[in-house]
Chain A
Amino acid sequence: MSDFLTQSHWIGKFTDKELSPEEESRLLAQASHNPLLRNELRLDEDINELFDDCDRIRLSDTIRSAIHHEKSRVILPLYLKIAASLIILITMTALAGLLVNYSRQNPGQSLIDNNPLLKPETRGLFGFLQGFRMQDMPATPARRRALAMNSKSFNSYSRRPEYEFLIGTATRDVTVFVITPLPRIRCKSDSQLQFSWRWVSEVVPVSLEIIDNRGRLMLTASQMMDMSYVLNTRQWPRGLYYYKIIAADELVTIGSISIY
């Protein structure tokens, strides 16, 4: 018995019908007494029978690989897909909004030139905050103006320090008081801005001057005897402007107009 079990190729030869008649009868005689050998002979025949069809084996492999492949695919549920799409959409909208807002405020210069984060300068720890350095703060209006004019960050909305501290103040001994506009106003680029005033006692001619933040005279309306003047800002570029109202050669008030 052990002879047949150890010499396994006899079983294979029996299934392949390669044993001589004597060997075959000897094997069958052994098998009639040995259930383990009978099991092996049946199993060998089973294997031969079941593995006879190559197409079936190929199909089995294909099914297994298809199952494996499909299982390894990560399929997101619909609600996660919608959530991901919304997050991407909101992020993109926010970025686009920031870009548009930033470019409107700086029409004259490109983004990179004005962005301290994109174009870092060696200004110390808080260099990215423009004008943060306290030791550089100019003491006089002239120094402030010189610094503002020379600053790389000067743009159409940069403030003129020598006017800024005068905004809102009014000369008391002049016979004119200004009703509109307010000292600091913001308006759109195509709006109409009304300047109006009243005389306290006697009527004196009133002049209006508008200068931009670089000190260029943009408009002058002199010797007006009316009580109002309407300014159309349609053709005006966006930026910061200062207006001066003068009565009888004396400055009445200064204000700022921010056109956006």
Chain B
Amino acid sequence: MNLPYTNEWLIKGLMEGREPCIKFIYREYFPMIMSIVGCQHGNMEDAEDIFHDGLIIIFNRLKNKRFNLNCSLKTYLFSVCKNLWRRRLERKYRLLYATDSYVYEDAGSYQQEAEEEEKVEKFRLYKKHLNEMPEFCRVLLTLYISKTPLHDIARIMNYKDAEYVKARKYYCKNLLRKKILNDPECKQFMNYE
């Protein structure tokens, strides 16, 4: 059943991370993204990644108070996802696309957008590796990321003190770094030496 969700409601729901709102966006807008990705050598997983990254990019931009969304969320998501997928293809297949094939959200900020999109992609990959970590590492790093005080983490994880929590945190971050560095998908876009 399609409820008459307004643009404002969707944007507010996206900013607050409300699941019904995200589900609605997925149900209504994902076929559109699937059509973009599907007709250009992409599969379902690619489309899901693009959908995820597109929403995160919009979320990041909406957090910036200077940014003003002056079209519908659907239109904006479409343009973001289309450009994302084009850039990703370009990087993947080293193909050169004509400049007029882009849907410009803002003509003067191409480089800035490319960096932002790369960050979002990195974020997704790092997040994927974080989710694949051993249970204790995942919980510890999640607590650390959510800025839980060290002595609280020690109490929750049943560690003896904050120093031990720190040592475990360094160990887990090291593990995460190793996993990321060994991932060929990460190597593909990271300009590390």
> Which among B67-75, B76-84, B89-97, B123-131 touches the partner chain?
B123-131
Contacts of B124 in A (CB 8 A): 60
Kindly identify which residue among B18, B123, B170 contacts A12, using a CB–CB cutoff of 8 Å.
B170
A55 to B176, CA, bound (A): 21
The answer to whether A43 and B177 have CB atoms under 8 Å apart is yes
Interface residue tally for chain B (C-beta within 8 Å): 43
> Chain B, 56-68, contact with A by CB distance < 8 Å: what is the 0/1 string?
1001100100000
The answer to whether B55 and A59 have CB atoms under 8 Å apart is yes
Binding site of A, secondary structure by majority: helix, strand, loop or mixed?
Answer: helix
The answer to whether B23 and A70 have CB atoms under 8 Å apart is yes
The answer to whether A54 and B145 have CB atoms under 8 Å apart is yes
Known contacts A44-B177, A62-B19; A67 and B48 CB within 8 A of each other: yes
Kindly identify which residue among A39, A50, A52, A67 contacts B192, using a CB–CB cutoff of 8 Å.
A39
The answer to whether A9 and B171 have CB atoms under 8 Å apart is yes
The answer to whether B174 and A12 have CB atoms under 8 Å apart is yes
Known contacts A8-B171, A63-B55, A64-B52; A47 and B177 CB within 8 A of each other: yes
Contacts of B56 in A (CB 8 A): 56, 59-60, 63
Of residues 4 to 60 in A, which have CB atoms within 8 Å of B's CB atoms?
A: 8-9, 11-13, 35, 38-40, 42-44, 46-47, 50-52, 54-60
Closest 5 CB pairs of A and B: A8-B174, A9-B170, A12-B170, A35-B193, A66-B22
Other A-B pairs, 10, CB within 8 Å; known A59-B55, A59-B56, A63-B26? A9-B167, A9-B174, A11-B173, A46-B126, A50-B122, A51-B141, A57-B127, A57-B142, A67-B51, A70-B26
> B interface vs A, CB < 8 Å?
14, 17-19, 22-23, 26-27, 30, 48, 51-52, 55-56, 59-60, 63, 119, 122-124, 126-127, 130, 141-142, 145-147, 166-167, 169-171, 173-174, 176-177, 180-181, 190, 192-193
